[in-house]
Amino acid sequence: MNIPEIERLITEAIYNRPKVTTAPLNLYLYDSKVICGGRIVMPKDAKFVAYVPNNCLEKGFNEQEWKLIVQKINQITNNRHDDNKPKETSDKKQIKQTRFSERRREQRLYYRRPMWYFQNLNKVRHKGRMVDISSNGMGFTCSVTSQNSLAARQTISTRLDVPLFCKDGSYDMVRFDREGQICRVEKINNSTHRVALQFSQPLPFKPAEQGLPNSIIEKTLAAL
């Protein structure tokens, strides 16, 4: 499973959780599905992923918690697949584990700037505010009403400006129109949601990995 698919399964599991229960709620992986429920009702071979405290049910997981949960599901899935393969020597296992631990997801550019999104064919435009961006997707916040509510797996179109840096630290703002699928929606408060979006077509460059020191990028962005 890829990361957006895992995030979608987690979001659906939380949404479909038992609403009336006194048992502690956890996330489990069972038969390639993510389930939120109590241990007492889970099949014996369901794999424990994470405990889900009440504050996460109300406010959602933060970025670090999402990352850890996704990593745990990936780890369980990889181990399950490995059980069906011939046993490897300890040297080969150590090499694979080292390579896995050294892999890093693309850095995100943390970037507060207005953006626009469109939900339907009549192109009613709604305003949001970018939180972070990579070449494959972005996070943004938006004020939510009954007319512009968003949900996981929904496809929307966006219009955004991204800084493209030169070697001397100067930059140009490049405008992109990108369609994408929503991976998750987190409630910040009653009127504001945070949205994670995966682009259907990546940006032609990595916004946070442009060959300049972070100090220069941060100083430039702070002045925008």
What CATH code is carried by the domain that includes residue 129? 2.40.10.220
CA-based torsion, 186, 161, 120, 7: positive or negative: negative
What are the tens digits of pLDDT across the range 5-33?
787 888 888 878 877 666 678 888 888 88
Note down the domain range covering 163: 109-222
Cα–Cα distance for residue pair 52/50, rounded to 1 Å: 6
Identify which of 130, 131, 125, 136 has the alpha carbon closest to the alpha carbon of residue 115. 130
User: What's the total number of domains in the chain?
Assistant: 2
Same structural domain for residues 72 and 114?
Answer: no
Same structural domain for residues 198 and 116?
Answer: yes
Confidence grade of residue 128 (pLDDT, cut at 50, 70, 90): very high
In this predicted structure, what is the pLDDT of residue 100?
35
Q: Which residue has the higher pLDDT, 19 or 98?
A: 19
N-term to C-term CA, the chain: 38
In this predicted structure, what is the pLDDT of residue 135?
92
Same structural domain for residues 116 and 70?
Answer: no
Same structural domain for residues 115 and 94?
Answer: no
CB 123 within 8 A of CB 94: no
Give me the mean pLDDT over the 198-205 stretch.
93
The yes-or-no verdict on residue 56 having pLDDT over 50 is: yes
- Note every long-range contact of 69-73, with CB atoms under 8 Å and residues 24 or more positions apart, other chains counting: 69/10, 69/27, 70/3, 70/6, 70/7, 70/10, 73/1, 73/6, 73/10, 73/29, 73/34, 73/49
Instruction: Provide, rounded to the nearest whole percent, the portion of the chain with pLDDT above 70.
Output: 79
- Boundary (domain end) residue, out of 82, 102, 122: 102
Same structural domain for residues 38 and 142?
Answer: no
Cα–Cα distance for residue pair 86/195, rounded to 1 Å: 42
What are the tens digits of pLDDT across the range 140-176?
999 887 666 788 889 999 999 999 988 877 888 999 9
Which of 38-42, 75-79, 212-216 has the highest mean predicted lDDT (pLDDT)? 75-79
Question: How many Å separate Cα 174 from the centre of its chain?
Answer: 24
Q: What phi and psi values does residue 68 have, to the nearest 5 degrees?
A: -65, -40
Same structural domain for residues 47 and 134?
Answer: no
Cα–Cα distance for residue pair 9/34, rounded to 1 Å: 6
The yes-or-no verdict on residue 70 having pLDDT over 80 is: yes
Confidence grade of residue 92 (pLDDT, cut at 50, 70, 90): very low
Task: Give me 164's structure tokens.
Answer: 């493209």
The yes-or-no verdict on residue 81 having pLDDT over 60 is: no
CB 160 within 8 A of CB 175: yes
Cα–Cα distance for residue pair 33/124, rounded to 1 Å: 35
In this predicted structure, what is the pLDDT of residue 96?
40
In this predicted structure, what is the pLDDT of residue 162?
92
Give me the mean pLDDT over the 127-152 stretch.
86
CA torsion angle 177 183 189 190 (round to 10): 80
Same structural domain for residues 16 and 59?
Answer: yes
Same structural domain for residues 84 and 165?
Answer: no
- Boundary (domain end) residue, out of 102, 136, 170: 102
In this predicted structure, what is the pLDDT of residue 18?
78
Residue 118: strand pairing partners: 125, 157
